[in-house]
Amino acid sequence: MKVGIVGMPNAGKSTLFNALTQAGAEAAGYPFTTIEPNVAIAAVPDERLDEVAATVAATPVVHESLEVHDIAGLVRGASAGEGLGNQFLASIRETDAICHVVRAHHDDGVPHPDGEVDPVADAEMVEAELMLADLETAQRRLDRVTKQARALDKEVVAERDWLTEVVAALERGEPVRSVPVPDAVGEAGPRHLSALTSKPVLYIANVDEGEDEPPAALVAHARKSGDEAIALSAKIEAELVELDPEEAAIMREELGISESGLGRMVRAAYGLLNLITFFTAGEAKEARAWSLRRGLTAWHAAGRIHTDIQDGFVKADVIGWEDLVRLGGYSQARDEGLLRVEGRDYVMQDGDVITVKHT
């Protein structure tokens, strides 16, 4: 999974990026610290995987990974070249979700580009710039497809009509995802456009220390478009990753933070993207976590692991991770009748541990 971090200058994007990935990108109290995009990969923490691995003595333990892109800040007028412009947005067009960092802390030592902390106003400003960037690309794409549509290829004509609606929506200030994609357009249309405002948004309110809720107005703003908002302090998260795990756990306890910022972010992002996690774990072999779209089957899960395993799919042994851990291993689970044999159409559940039998 790939996520792109957007937000105003000084919102705390790079601070959060460092807390998530421990990549050591420059973060400083002046706008436009970030010029070139930063990219790093974080291992998605999942205690269930660790417990499953310990239960069946699997090693190594391979977590699912999250690719995080940190880019420059957006200011009003970026689409017209203000600030650093908006060209750098290209580097997050291929991501699965947008993490929108919104400043909600009141540290006077960190200048705010508009001089006032107003999370919803900031979010709307950044969103307007994302829509203007999409308008540019949608317009360009529409011109091209309009020329091709003279050939009256059904799919191209459908794409042209869809793009016409997309452009109209963006001009009204509505995101690309507010326009349904007709079946006739196929998957290629949205892929060619690779719009920023077609992706789900996770709002991250960068709150004051000790605050654990996002501002209510920002939550309402997120819900309007079916998105979600979480609160974290980028500064505290960045400090916590500097500590060793035991110290960090004690600090978290004292601060009343139940889970790492990365853990909370990933959980919210999985929810938005409709993803579940399943595990594979072999005795004395690797244990691994995999993400999968909710509603997909054992056969799809096999395809995540390897196309050969999918092609040769015969059946799968499946058990919920909690049962496996509680019973202490596969053979006990089999004795108890909790290790089930499932066929290719079995719908995978979050937390399933699967062993695919294949030819």
- The CB-of-91 to Mg ion minimum distance in angstroms stands at 13
The reply on whether position 34 binds Mg ion by CB under 5 A is yes
In Å, how far are 39, 181, 274, 291, 358 from 227, measured between CA atoms?
Answer: 24, 19, 12, 20, 40
DSSP characters over 293-325? ETT-BHHHHHHHH-HHHHHTEEEEEEEEHHHHH
27: left (phi over 0), alpha (psi -120 to 50) or beta: beta
* First-residue to last-residue Cα distance in the chain: 30
Q: Which stretch binds Mg ion (CB under 5 A): 33-41, 177-185, 198-206, 293-301?
A: 33-41
Q: Which stretch binds ligand GTP (CB under 6 A): 4-12, 183-191, 298-306, 335-343?
A: 4-12
- The CB-of-206 to Mg ion minimum distance in angstroms stands at 12
| Interactions with Mg ion, residue window 5-24 (CB under 5 A) | 13-14
The reply on whether position 206 binds Mg ion by CB under 5 A is no
The reply on whether position 233 binds ligand GTP by CB under 6 A is yes
The binder of 325, among Mg ion, ligand GTP, none, by C-beta within 5 to 8 A per type, is none
Residues touching ligand GTP, count (CB under 6 A): 24
The reply on whether position 355 binds ligand GTP by CB under 6 A is no
The reply on whether position 33 binds Mg ion by CB under 5 A is yes
User: Omega of the bond prior to 60 within 30 degrees of 0, cis?
Assistant: yes
User: What is the Cα–Cα distance from 104 to 129, expressed in whole angstroms?
Assistant: 20
DSSP characters over 72-116? PPP-TTGGGT-TT-SGGGGGGTT-SEEEEEEEE---TTS--TTSS
Place of tokens 């077609």: 198
The binder of 214, among ligand GTP, Mg ion, none, by C-beta within 5 to 8 A per type, is none
The reply on whether position 91 binds ligand GTP by CB under 6 A is no
Binding site for Mg ion (CB under 5 A): 13-14, 33-34
Binding site for ligand GTP (CB under 6 A): 7, 9-15, 27-29, 31-34, 72-73, 105, 107, 110, 206, 233-235
